[in-house]
Chains A and B, each alone.
Chain A
Amino acid sequence: MSALIDDLEHFKDQIRLKTLQELNHLGFGHYGGSLSIVEALAVLYGEMLNVNPFNPHAEERDYFILSKGHGGPAYYAALALKGFFPEELLYTLNQNGTSLPSHPDRNLTPGVDMTTGSLGQGLSAAVGVALSHQLSGRSNRTYCIVGDGELNEGQCWEALQFAAHHKLNHLTVLVDDNKKQLDGLTKDIIDPIDFAEKFRAFGFYTLKADGSSVREIYEAIHQGKAQYSQPVAVILDTVKGQGVPYLEAKADNHHIRPNAQDKKAILEAIADLENRLGGEVTV
């Protein structure tokens, strides 16, 4: 177990480093909401997801949908590190003609299961994927990361009702509860009040985890998988800009065009991660 956690810690540092490098190379982007899902992606792609970059359409594989599509940069970092495409491609993020657009596109990027970015929609698609496998009696799992701001969207709550009604017990929804949306704090814009209570009321087997702890995320997902009566929700207590204290503290950190001070802090964070990883950044 501890070896696994060590591996996941290492993997999350790699994903964070690659995420920062690709966004820094582009010069702007969705830093905040990309960094807050790094640990969740590390647990999913490092351990939980049954996916194989050399056989991406394997029948028994698991599915992952990033409903909060603006987290694309972190998603791409995880996919590249997992071997779905060359890491050099990360430096084409959002450039003219790229296969890594700001929001994921299932037709452009190897390993991406669903096109997302119009918030609220990916969760319904994940529910459809999970339903399809349930109808076939298959055990493929479907994972979906949804944003806390994204949960403003009514469609999400339609999807949750549907998933609970159909007892889609092979669906795991991870809520990136980073407390912020584009214009400010979620509690000031549309107060979520209590996500865990809401998900429980909607019929989900609901757990909470420290979203900066790969161990807690791993244990929660694992615990959710062990029960077979309900779909699973894991409410991840995260911080927008997670893992880079300067960016965590920055008020307006949804989409950043770094000023000189920001740039310095981002380069320092990159250097810190490079030092910690000893210059080795491949899996």
Chain B
Amino acid sequence: MINSAVPSYETEDIEMRQAYARTLLELAKQNHNIIALEADLMSAISTNKLQNQIPGQLINCGIMEANMMGVAAGLSITGRIPFLHTFAQFATRRAYDQLFVSGAYARLNLKILGSDSGVTAEHNGGTHMAFEDLGLMRLVPKAVVYEASDSTMLIYLLNKIAGEYGIHYIRTMRKAAVKLYEPGEIFEEGKSKVIRDGSDVALMASGIMVAEALKAADLLAEKGFNAAVIDLYSIKPVDDERIVEYAFKTGAIVTAENHNAIGGLGSAVAEVLSEQAPVPLRRIGVKEQFGQVGKTEYLKEVYHLTAGDICRAACELMDGKKPI
């Protein structure tokens, strides 16, 4: 299914944190078993404004992520639906064993939002810049892992996972993303969105890198290449059918992620390609580096996460492209 309208990557969306807070409010009002848990980052994700609107359904656990994960597990034992939010590195790195054992291994029902994805952590810098959360979450058996690329998707996914049992992790930035989708779009688990079709190379991206991939497709068009852009928002399960389809269709894949090149989207695509459709692949992602302070645009340059980097990788690939 190709979208007829190619979205502009210049349009600003509503802030992701506003999308989270508004959706959470609606969900909590609809279902009294939904309990939002925060670890002293309510102001950062805009849920502080909900305190008087959903009393008893919004708990600030304080700066104790491990305990928050366990409290969520306990709430789930009694049939509650906990929605947890903290920055991505605290949700995964810091409380990983709690998430893994008390949440996933115990087969409980946790909805986890990891915010400030990768370089969007900006001035919080290296301690707060998660480039590994998707990799960690991919290793949790049965966990479903998404990266939201705009507010339409985030709102859809939050509503979707509220009604599904199990461990769901959504990675997001907090500020406004580039608007990609109109309300009414459907985002299924294990699927993807072909935002722009093409036959020379397929650019597969998630989160903020979808907009970079769209820019890269324009750069490639200037060079006479017809690039497909695919939003692989479902990191696990990944849309292997689409990956294989475009591997055969284009014979060249470039992945782009605001994450370590190991463990996340690039790895997921590489795993599918190597087993089912071994075509040349380049992975755009953070290579053996930690985070640092800086504006998002600056950090994209530092970590080689720009449209130009994607374009260059695609050109290199197509130079050596062989029919399969």
Q: Give A contacts to B, CB under 8 Å.
A: 63, 105-107, 113-115, 117-118, 120-133, 135, 154-155, 158-159, 161-162, 165
Q: A115-B101, A124-B98 are in contact. Are A162 and B67 (CB under 8 A)?
A: yes
Closest to B73 in A: A125
- Additional pairs, 15, CB under 8 Å, beyond known A115-B101, A118-B102: A114-B73, A115-B102, A118-B101, A121-B101, A124-B67, A125-B74, A125-B102, A128-B71, A128-B74, A131-B75, A135-B56, A155-B67, A159-B67, A161-B64, A162-B62
Query: 0/1 per residue, B68-80, Cβ < 8 Å to A?
Result: 0111111111111
Query: How many angstroms between the C-alpha atoms of A165 and B74 in the bound complex?
Result: 17
Q: Give B contacts to A, CB under 8 Å.
A: 35, 56, 59, 61-62, 64, 66-67, 69-80, 97-98, 101-102, 105-107
The answer to whether A124 and B78 touch across the interface, beta carbons within 8 angstroms, is no
The answer to whether A115 and B74 touch across the interface, beta carbons within 8 angstroms, is no
A-B interface, 8 closest residue pairs, ranked by CB to CB distance from nearest? A128-B74, A124-B70, A158-B67, A158-B64, A128-B71, A115-B106, A132-B78, A125-B74
Q: A118-B97, A158-B67 are in contact. Are A130 and B74 (CB under 8 A)?
A: yes
The answer to whether A162 and B61 touch across the interface, beta carbons within 8 angstroms, is yes
The answer to whether A161 and B70 touch across the interface, beta carbons within 8 angstroms, is no
The answer to whether B62 and A161 touch across the interface, beta carbons within 8 angstroms, is yes
Query: How many angstroms between the C-alpha atoms of A158 and B98 in the bound complex?
Result: 13
Q: Which residues of A contact B62 (CB under 8 A)?
A: 158, 161-162, 165
The answer to whether B105 and A115 touch across the interface, beta carbons within 8 angstroms, is yes
Q: How far is the CB of B41 from chain A (nearest CB, A)?
A: 16
The answer to whether A135 and B35 touch across the interface, beta carbons within 8 angstroms, is yes
The answer to whether A106 and B106 touch across the interface, beta carbons within 8 angstroms, is yes
Q: Which residues of B contact A118 (CB under 8 A)?
A: 97-98, 101-102
Partner of B72, one of A107, A128, A130, A154: A128
Q: Which residues of A contact B59 (CB under 8 A)?
A: 131
The answer to whether B75 and A128 touch across the interface, beta carbons within 8 angstroms, is yes
- The B interface is mostly helix, strand or loop, or mixed, namely helix
Please list 19 pairs of residues, one from A and one from B, whose beta carbons are closer than 8 Å in the complex, sorted by A's number.
A114-B102, A115-B106, A118-B102, A121-B98, A123-B70, A124-B67, A126-B74, A128-B77, A131-B75, A135-B56, A155-B64, A155-B66, A155-B70, A158-B66, A158-B67, A159-B70, A159-B71, A162-B64, A162-B67
Q: Which residues of A contact B75 (CB under 8 A)?
A: 128-129, 131-132
Q: A115-B102, A121-B98, A124-B102 are in contact. Are A129 and B74 (CB under 8 A)?
A: yes
Partner of B71, one of A113, A114, A124: A124
Q: How far is the CB of B306 from chain A (nearest CB, A)?
A: 41
Query: How many angstroms between the C-alpha atoms of A123 and B73 in the bound complex?
Result: 11
Query: How many angstroms between the C-alpha atoms of A120 and B75 in the bound complex?
Result: 17
Q: How far is the CB of B289 from chain A (nearest CB, A)?
A: 30
The answer to whether A124 and B69 touch across the interface, beta carbons within 8 angstroms, is yes
Closest to B67 in A: A158
Query: How many angstroms between the C-alpha atoms of A117 and B105 in the bound complex?
Result: 11
Q: How far is the CB of B214 from chain A (nearest CB, A)?
A: 43
Closest to A154 in B: B66
Q: How far is the CB of A53 from chain B (nearest CB, A)?
A: 18
Closest to A106 in B: B106
Q: Which residues of B contact A129 (CB under 8 A)?
A: 74-75, 77-78
The answer to whether B56 and A127 touch across the interface, beta carbons within 8 angstroms, is no
The answer to whether B66 and A132 touch across the interface, beta carbons within 8 angstroms, is no
Q: Which residues of B contact A106 (CB under 8 A)?
A: 77, 106-107
Q: Which residues of B contact A161 (CB under 8 A)?
A: 62, 64
Q: A131-B59, A162-B71 are in contact. Are A125 and B77 (CB under 8 A)?
A: yes
The answer to whether B102 and A121 touch across the interface, beta carbons within 8 angstroms, is yes
Q: Which residues of B contact A107 (CB under 8 A)?
A: 106-107
Q: Which residues of A contact B97 (CB under 8 A)?
A: 118, 121
Q: Which residues of A contact B102 (CB under 8 A)?
A: 114-115, 118, 121, 124-125
Closest to A137 in B: B56
Query: How many angstroms between the C-alpha atoms of A122 and B71 in the bound complex?
Result: 9
Partner of A127, one of B35, B67, B76, B101: B67
Q: Which residues of B contact A123 (CB under 8 A)?
A: 70
Query: How many angstroms between the C-alpha atoms of A115 and B69 in the bound complex?
Result: 14
Q: How far is the CB of B82 from chain A (nearest CB, A)?
A: 8
Q: Which residues of A contact B72 (CB under 8 A)?
A: 128
Query: How many angstroms between the C-alpha atoms of A129 and B71 in the bound complex?
Result: 7
Q: How far is the CB of B72 from chain A (nearest CB, A)?
A: 6
Query: How many angstroms between the C-alpha atoms of A133 and B61 in the bound complex?
Result: 17
Q: How far is the CB of A100 from chain B (nearest CB, A)?
A: 16
Q: How far is the CB of B173 from chain A (nearest CB, A)?
A: 28
Query: How many angstroms between the C-alpha atoms of A199 and B79 in the bound complex?
Result: 29
Q: How far is the CB of B203 from chain A (nearest CB, A)?
A: 41
Closest to A126 in B: B74
Q: Which residues of A contact B56 (CB under 8 A)?
A: 135
The answer to whether A131 and B71 touch across the interface, beta carbons within 8 angstroms, is yes
Residue from A105, A124, A165 with most neighbouring chain B CB atoms (10 Å): A124
Q: How far is the CB of A139 from chain B (nearest CB, A)?
A: 14
The answer to whether B73 and A128 touch across the interface, beta carbons within 8 angstroms, is yes
Query: How many angstroms between the C-alpha atoms of A133 and B79 in the bound complex?
Result: 11
Q: How far is the CB of B78 from chain A (nearest CB, A)?
A: 4
Q: How far is the CB of B63 from chain A (nearest CB, A)?
A: 9
Q: How far is the CB of A57 from chain B (nearest CB, A)?
A: 10
Query: How many angstroms between the C-alpha atoms of A158 and B59 in the bound complex?
Result: 15
